[in-house]
Structure 1
Amino acid sequence: MKYQGPLLGVVAMTFVFGVAVATSVPAASLTTPDSFDNVEIDAAVGGEQSFAALDGAAPSVSRDGYVVHTPTPTPTPTPKAVAVSTSEGGYGGAQCQAGSDAVAESVAFSPVYPDGNRMSDGFGPRAEGFHKGIDMLNGPGVPVHSIADGVVIAASGDGGTGGVYLSIAHKVGGAAVCSMYMHFQDGSLTVGVGSIVTAGQVIGLTGRTGNATTEHTHFELYGADGVRYDPIPFLTEHGIAP
C-alpha cells in the first residue's frame, strides 16, 4: 500500500500523454498501409511531369482575303479638235455631187445655232460685192452645228478671206445639197475631210478668222452646179431658219 501514490502518478501522466498525442497527430497519419491499396501513382520517382501534344502541326486558321477594285469613271465624251492647217478637198459642184452620192438621204435637220443667233448681212448685193451667203452673229467660242447628215468634202485651217472653214455634202430629196461654214476659231474644227457627220453635230467654234470684223458664221448653200443660192428658203422649209 505504500506504493499506491507513485503508481497513480505514473498512470495519470501516461493518460495525459496519450490524449496529447491523439489530438496533435492527423488521423490519416495513423492509418495502416492497407488503406492505400487502391491508389495508383503514375508519376515516376525523380522524373519530370510533362504533356506531349498530338503529332502534327496545329490546324492553321485561314483568313479571307479580298481586293478592292475602284472603278475608273468614264468621262463624258466631248468634241475634240482635229489638226487642219492647210486646204483639203474641194467645194465646187463636182465635189458636192460626189459627196452627196456617198451618203444616205438626210431625214433630220438642225439649225446652225440651236440656241439662236443674230442676223447680219443677207444673201445678195452689198457694198463690198455680191454676198454669196448669210452672216449669223454669235459670241466667240459658241459651237457651230451641221445642218444635216453628210460627209465633209473640204476643210481648211487657213482659208484666206474665209478663214477656217468647212464644207459638207448632203443628200436631200435625192439631190446634192452642200453647206459651207466660214470664220471658225483657229484650231476648233472637230472634223476633217472624209468625216461623216450627223444633223446637229458640233463641227467647230464661232470665230472671226479670215476677212471678218466680228465673231460670226458665214453660211452658204450650193448644189451639183456649184452655184450659191439664198439659204433662207431652204432653211425655212426644213424648220431650221435662223
Structure 2
Amino acid sequence: MKYGGPVLGVIAMTFVFGVAIATSVPAASLSAPGGFDAVQYAAERGADQTYDAGGLAVPEVDRDGYAVQTPTPTPTPKPVQSAGSSGASGADLGGYGGAQCAAGAAEATPATTFSWPYPNGESHVGDPFGWRAEGFHKGVDMLAPEGTPVHSIADGVVIALSTGSSGTGGLYVSIAHNVDGQPLCSMYMHFLEGSILVNIGDHVTTGQVIAATGETGNATAFHTHFELYGADGLRFDPMPWMQAHAG
C-alpha cells in the first residue's frame, strides 16, 4: 500500500500521545471542566458525612466522683478474770493508796520474818526503780519464767486486787503489813490470767504463794512489777529495804 507507512506512524504517535495524557492529567480534570474544587466538594458531600446515633441514650460518667466510708470500730470486751475464791470479776477491788495501806496494816499480824517475791532465786531485775524513757518507774521489774509462783514478802492482809487484766498493771495484788508498828504495803503486778489465789481481806503469811508470773497489762515480758510504799502512799526503791530485811 502506498500510504501504509505514514498512516501507521500517525496512529502510533496518536496512541503514545493518548497514553501520556491519561497518566499525567488527573481524572477529575477530565470530567469536571474548570478544575476540581475540594472545598466545594466537601460542602456538597457534607450531609453524607454525618452519623445518627438513632436516639440512643449516652450514660453520663462522673470520673472524679468517689466516696470514702470509715468502718465503725467493733468494741472489744475487757477480759474478765475471777478473783480467787471471791467470785468477783472484771473490776479493781479495794484500794492501794496510803490510807488503805494504814487501815490494812492495823488489821495485820505484826510481821517478824520476810521473804523475796521469788525466794528461790528464779528471777533477776530487769528495769530498776527510778527514771526511764517512759517516765518514772515506781518499782522494780523482776523477770521470771511464765507461771513461776510469786510469794508474799511478809505476814499481812490483802487490801486490793484486780480482776481485769487490761489496765496498766494488768492483774495485781496489794498487801498491807505491820512492820514494827508502821504500815508497809507491797504491790505485785502483771500476774498470769487465772492465777490469783487470794481475796480482799485474806490474811497471808510470809512466803505464801499469791499468784503466778505473767505479762498482763502493760508488759512485754514475763515478770512481776514489785513496789513498796507506806502510809503516805509514796513508792520507794524496794531493793535496799528487801536486802536489809530478807537478806
Which category of TM-score, normalised to the shorter sequence, fits these structures? 0.5 to 0.7
Deviation at 1:239, TM superposition (A): 2.4
Q: 2:67 matched to 1:87?
A: no
1:164 to 167, 171, 174: 171
Aligned length: 161
Aligned residue for 1:137? 143
Q: Using the alignment, how far apart are the partners of 1:236 and 1:132 within structure 2?
A: 18
Among all aligned residue pairs of Structure 1 and Structure 2, give the percentage whose two residues are the same amino acid.
Answer: 59
Task: Provide the secondary structure at the position in 2 that maps to 1:125.
Answer: strand
Change (3 A) 1:213 1:171: same
Aligned residue for 1:208? 215
Give the TM-score taking structure 2 as reference length.
Answer: 0.63
Deviation at 1:154, TM superposition (A): 0.1
Aligned residue for 1:188? 195
Aligned residue for 2:131? 125
Paired amino acid for 1:109: F
Task: Provide the secondary structure at the position in 2 that maps to 1:180.
Answer: strand
Aligned residue for 1:111? 116
Aligned 8 A contact 1:84 1:192 in 2: no
Paired amino acid for 1:204: A
Aligned 8 A contact 2:84 2:199 in 1: no
Aligned 8 A contact 2:139 2:227 in 1: yes
Give structure 2 stretches of 5+ with no counterpart. 1-82
Structure 1 residues 39-118: aligned runs within 5 Å: 81-82=84-85, 83-85=87-89, 86-116=91-121, 117-118=123-124
Aligned residue for 2:205? 198
C-alpha deviations, 1:36-82, integer Å up to 9, x for none?
xxxxxxxxxxxxxxxxxxxxxxxxxxxxxxxxxxxxxxxxxxxx944
* Large movers: runs of 4+ above 3 Å: 80-84
Paired amino acid for 1:232: M
Give structure 1 stretches of 5+ with no counterpart. 1-79
Q: Using the alignment, how far apart are the partners of 1:84 and 1:205 within structure 2?
A: 19
Task: Provide the secondary structure at the position in 1 that maps to 2:243.
Answer: helix
C-alpha deviations, 1:97-132, integer Å up to 9, x for none?
000011121001111001111110000000000000
Q: Using the alignment, how far apart are the partners of 1:230 and 1:186 within structure 2?
A: 27
Aligned residue for 2:239? 232
Cα RMSD (Å) of the superposition? 1.3
Task: Provide the secondary structure at the position in 2 that maps to 1:161.
Answer: coil
Q: Using the alignment, how far apart are the partners of 2:115 and 2:158 within structure 1?
A: 16
Deviation at 1:156, TM superposition (A): 0.7
Give the TM-score taking structure 1 as reference length.
Answer: 0.65
Paired amino acid for 2:113: A
Change (3 A) 1:216 1:84: farther
Aligned 8 A contact 2:116 2:151 in 1: yes
Q: Using the alignment, how far apart are the partners of 1:81 and 1:113 within structure 2?
A: 21
